[in-house]
Amino acid sequence: MAPPIPLLAVCGSDGTSLLRGPPRCELDSSFQRDSRPSRCLTFSRDGTLFGWCNGHSVSVVRCADGSAVSTLNLPKTNFLEFSPLNNILVTWQPYTKTQDSPQGEANLQLWDLPSGRLIKALYQKKAESWCPSWSEDEKICVRSVNNELHFYENNDFNSIANKLHMQKVSDFALSPGAQPSKVAVYVPGSKGAPSFVRLYQYPVLGGASAALANKSFFKADRVNMQWNQKASAVLVTASTEVDKTGASYYGEQTLHYLAANGETALVQLAKNGPIYDVAWSPNSTEFCVVYGFMPAKATVFNLKCDPVFDFGTGPRNAAYYSPQGHILVLAGFGNLRGQMEVWDLKKYKQVSKPQAPDATYFSWCPDGEHIVTATCSPRLRVSNGYKIWHYTGTVLHKQDAAAGSELWKVHWQPFPEGSFPERPIKYQAALSELGTTEAAPIQAYRPPALRHLPATPSSKLHEDEPPQDLRSGLSGEKSLSKSALKNQRKREAKKAAKQEAKSDPEPACLPAPVSNSQSEACSGDTETDKKIKNLKKKLKAIEELKEQQASGKVLQKNQLEKIQKEEQLLKELQELQIK
């Protein structure tokens, strides 16, 4: 049986449409294009339903044939989301107060599909964390209300089944997967006490003793918590708004690891600077971190928080695993030039290195073969459009927004796990009329007067670090912590300095030997000894210039004049040594 073809939803100022995905990349005939502008669209988790709001109503259709499921008169809707089993549609609109209702209207609404009946209306003033979180079987639903978590069971929103209340629960993350469900909660520090994250297994929520794992830390104004797909561990990126040392505009970040079995760790990173992105592999056994001052490093870690592979340094700030977990894309978007590095994770070998300049959005297609990049408004209001790529760097489809119109969002249709099997990785670029965008090697600028001369190695502002395999038995070295690496470098520098001192001693004055050779002898005259020392320095510098000239480097006029004075300096040195 042939695998299905994913849909790509596209919305902008000129309407909403569905594109039948690669390789054909054409409009889906079963979906009637909506010409009204829509900023809000989403697919259900299994990809069977598609919903959007066009400023007049919220519509839900079946992706298979485009037939209508439900239409709701909700023109002000800003966000919508489906529950995991498609039983409920959640809509959110901005919270407002009127003369008729000084308390404001309940702006978070839960609707039954397909009847369109309102199940419950709730108050949710902030757009941040607006949507309730469900377990995959919809037996548990969680939302944050006034610094505590409210748990509902079996979609009964008329009674709260359980509560988790601590000092001030600021954020939470419900685990994916089957029961039993786990929840990670974050409580910010206050009055000198540290912030902490705790893991609980529902329904045991009674205090610190009931926690599966607990990790406390300072320097945290906010956190981002990410579960792996097996719900066995969570990664916590803690951030501060301001770096008090003044080293970074991005504040300070630290990465913490918590496992459901109680293990916790601080992930040691080999370079100082911001943490740009953290991504779990779909196999749940490793994760990738992009970090450090530019050029940034990217490293894959295992569940022991030991580095497995270091991709070296480069212009990157994001990491994207393919849905099957066999390919990793390291990309530099935003204020970077849009370079993408595509890596085969089984061989740790680079597949391609295309460029998507001005891209503001990236997403893998569920088939693990194709990706979409887009330039969307309001992030960038010019050159809006999207491209569909093969991971080998070939552009299969390109669509620019019409003049005067804007592209707001593109979104792949999701599919259940296992819908697309993993395919062997290709290294040869896929065929396409649009070709590839492999980045050409950038040459250093050379003035016109020097372009006829042979090219010489140019000095770089930053020396790029090469990739390094850190797996035990392959690299031959045990991975070291940040402080251990620093100490090792100090020891190696001291050792090298000692060896250099032994091999090239340069005493100012040596005792006179008994032999007739007086080239190394001390004259006894301090002024003469100084002159000899200075002449030797000048001659050594001339030797270095001659070596550079031999390697092809173009020397300056004053450097060439120094070389011409070599004979004169040698004669002066000889005369002083005879005296």
Separation between Cα atoms, residue 144 and residue 147, nearest integer Å: 6
Separation between Cα atoms, residue 225 and residue 189, nearest integer Å: 17
Question: What are the DSSP calls for 474-498, one per residue?
Answer: TSSS----HHHHHHHHHHHHHHHHH
Strands 195-201 and 68-72, bridge-based pairing? unpaired
pLDDT, tens digit (0-9, with 9 covering 90-100), for 537-556? 888 888 888 888 777 677 77
Residues paired with residue 233 on neighbouring β-strands, in sequence order:
259
CA 87 to chain centre: 34
Separation between Cα atoms, residue 291 and residue 274, nearest integer Å: 6
Residues paired with residue 393 on neighbouring β-strands, in sequence order:
none
Tokens of 572: 């002066």
Helix H or strand E segment including 341 = strand 340-344
Residue type, 300: V
Tokens of 43: 């697919």
Instruction: Give the pLDDT of the chain (579 residues) as one tens digit per residue.
Output: 677 889 999 998 888 888 887 877 788 888 888 888 888 899 999 999 999 998 888 999 998 888 888 889 988 899 999 999 999 999 999 888 877 777 778 889 999 987 889 998 888 888 888 889 999 988 999 998 888 889 999 888 888 888 887 778 888 899 998 888 999 999 888 877 888 898 988 888 876 678 888 888 888 888 899 999 998 999 999 988 877 666 667 778 899 999 998 889 899 998 888 899 999 999 999 999 999 888 899 999 999 989 999 998 989 999 999 999 899 999 998 888 888 999 999 889 998 888 888 899 999 999 899 999 999 888 888 889 899 988 888 888 888 888 888 899 999 999 988 888 888 888 877 666 565 555 555 566 677 777 777 766 555 555 677 888 887 655 444 445 556 666 777 777 777 777 666 655 444 444 444 334 444 445 556 778 888 888 888 888 888 888 887 776 777 777 888 888 888 888 888 888 776
Sign of CA dihedral 424, 425, 428, 432: positive
Cβ neighbors of 506 (< 8 A, separation 6 or more) are 536
Tokens of 19: 């594109």
Separation between Cα atoms, residue 148 and residue 168, nearest integer Å: 7
pLDDT at 428: 74
CA 109 to chain centre: 34
Separation between Cα atoms, residue 319 and residue 281, nearest integer Å: 10
Separation between Cα atoms, residue 96 and residue 101, nearest integer Å: 9
Reported pTM = 0.74
Separation between Cα atoms, residue 356 and residue 350, nearest integer Å: 17
Burial of 190 (0-12, 13-18, 19+ CB in 10 A): exposed
Separation between Cα atoms, residue 228 and residue 303, nearest integer Å: 11
Separation between Cα atoms, residue 19 and residue 365, nearest integer Å: 13
Task: Assess contact for 160 and 149: CB atoms under 8 A.
Answer: no
